[in-house]
Chain A
Amino acid sequence: MHCEGRTMSTHCPCQQQPTRRGFVGLFLGTGILATLASFLYPVIRYFVPPPVADLGGDEVVAAKTGDLKQNSGKVFRFGSRPGLLILEADGTYRAMSATCTHLGCTVQYKPDTRQVWCPCHNGIYDLNGRNVSGPPPRPLDVFDVHVRGEEVVVSRKKEA
């Protein structure tokens, strides 16, 4: 009789030595299962999409409709820079870069004067992003805004 891998015992052929086999089996089994788990766990988690979807570098969901009151503004994140989303009194959305072109402070919307204002050195822009007063040397970059269902999507201006 030929027994693969088993130690022959004198009175009982093909009887394995339980302790030795169990020992090896334990190591091998645990090891393989553990490594399999430690590989599958990250891969399965990887498949689950993160909560913030990646729409690409050119557009972002700035807010939900209903987030903003009429004649108010909100700073949102566009890539790695702040943007300003404004809902005018007549319901139009406007969006522009919120980084002041003077020294980089974050601008805000002033509902009383209906202008965009920089609190650092009193720079003022109109709703088209044009610098109208104070130190800012250049207008703010203006973005496109579209409402998609419940989402207000801001995207960089497409080149003509």
Chain B
Amino acid sequence: MIAALYRWLDARLHLDGLLEPFKHKTVPQHKLSYWYFFGGITLFLFMIQVATGILLLLYYHPGANEAFESVQYIMTSVQFGWLIRSIHSWSANLMIFTAFAHMFSVLFLKAYRAPRELTWVTGVLLLFLVMGFGFSGYLLPWNTLAFFATTVGTQMAGQVPIIGHPLMIFLRGGPEVTGATLTRFFGFHVAVLPAIVTVLIGVHLFFVQRQGMSVPPKVEEAWEKDPSLRKEMKFFPNFALREMMAWYVGMALLGALAALFPWDLGVKVDPFASAPAGIKPEWYFLFMYQTLKLIPSKVWIIDGEVLGIVGCGVAALAWILLPFIEYFRPSRTRVWITGLSIFALVYMIGMTAYGYLAQ
């Protein structure tokens, strides 16, 4: 029956021509092939987010005096609302984790190198946008943790030299975090960011399809020495089926997390209450937050916080432009970048752990 449907569509849309390249798409098979899954899993989790997000939109009220109650309504009155909301919250966290894992795997397996520089650039931008999704979405339930985390986060943005203050006003919709901030973040979260991310994902995937999967340098070397070692797996149906399995495992994990550890509702915002002690951002911002906390308040003549923010900005820029750094003296910069990658991974994990354990 599917074949009949395909023939009907093909006669009208010449699908054969379009699908031809996909029939030949292959995935290199080697010891490190499992890392290839992470991109697809991130995409899968994004699609889960879109689906659950649209469902949540049916009942969510964005406004300071209604947001919290509407999330409470979803959690307690809407049938399976608890499931949809908890999946959305858990999937958000998992997606950020897999996005980072995907980025690091690409980094260590050197897949960012020519000709894949633009894939890397779009990828890093996507990572930043995904963290923006996390930051904006976190405020939407309008509970005290989110309120103060947003206050701290936007205040840090205000520390950027020159454009910091206007940037903070732009983010907050005013000088303070209020209902206006909530409305604005809602707009970012459900319209602005999805639009930009969808386009970027399209571009990112287009590049990946055009260029095919990269092979780690050491494996490539071994294969050039002995071509008989080269193994490729067809994407359709072999790798795709394996990807399906990974996606199913992802679904199982999400369902289990949602049912066993439902996402907390928190306490509704009281803007006149003082911040609870030990307020911390979500785990994916923890390494940055902890770093900023450790920088002394004044370094030489520069304000510590400003130095930290500028430092983060420089690091972000370096990250985006990483492949281009290797244009200059590759024999040295390549080694440096490997070292930097290891440092970055250890640093992020270490700082996140430190942030968690510190009171």
Contact = CB atoms under 8 A, between A and B. Distances in A.
Q: Do A and B bind each other?
A: yes
The winner among B63, B79, B84 for most chain A CB atoms within 10 A is: B79
B70 to A, nearest CB: 6
A57 B69 contact: yes
A43 interface: yes
B221 interface: no
Interface stretch (A15-23, A47-55, A117-125): A47-55
A79 B268 CA distance: 13
Contacts, number: 45
B306 interface: no
A54 B65 contact: no
Nearest to A156: B65
Interface string B64-75: 011011100100
Contact of A50 (B65, B68, B79): B79
Given A45-B79, A46-B79, A56 B66 contact: yes
A41 B167 CA distance: 44
Contact of B69 (A39, A43, A45, A54): A54
A30 interface: no
Contacts of B358: none
Interface residues of A, number: 16
B65 A46 contact: no
A65 interface: no
Contact of B80 (A35, A42, A54): A42
Contacts of A39: 251
A58 interface: yes
A57 B65 contact: yes
Contact of A54 (B55, B70, B83, B248): B70
B321 to A, nearest CB: 41
Contact of B248 (A35, A49, A50): A35
Interface string B55-99: 100110101011011100100011111011000000000000000
A58 B69 CA distance: 10
B80 A79 contact: no
B58 A47 contact: yes
Nearest to B80: A42
A2 to B, nearest CB: 15
A49 B55 CA distance: 12
A54 B251 contact: no
A54 B59 contact: yes
A135 to B, nearest CB: 27
Nearest to B237: A5
Contacts of B251: 35, 39
A47 B79 CA distance: 8
Interface in B322-352: none
Contact of A46 (B61, B73, B80): B80
A46 B84 contact: yes
A26 B143 CA distance: 48
Contacts of B77: 50, 52, 54
Given A56-B61, A56-B69, A46 B55 contact: yes
Contacts of B83: 42
B247 to A, nearest CB: 11
B248 A43 contact: no
B248 A46 contact: no
A52 B58 CA distance: 15
B66 A46 contact: no
A17 to B, nearest CB: 19
Nearest to B67: A57
B78 A46 contact: yes
Contacts of A54: 59, 61, 69-70, 73, 77
A54 B74 CA distance: 9
A42 B84 contact: yes
Interface in A22-79: 35, 39, 42-43, 45-50, 52, 54, 56-58, 79
A46 B81 contact: yes
Nearest to B77: A50
Given A46-B58, A54-B69, 10 more contacts: A39-B251, A42-B84, A45-B80, A46-B55, A46-B79, A52-B77, A54-B61, A54-B73, A56-B69, A57-B66
Interface of A: 35, 39, 42-43, 45-50, 52, 54, 56-58, 79
18 contacts: A35-B248, A42-B84, A43-B55, A43-B84, A46-B55, A46-B58, A47-B58, A50-B77, A50-B78, A52-B77, A54-B61, A54-B69, A54-B70, A54-B77, A56-B61, A56-B65, A57-B68, A57-B69
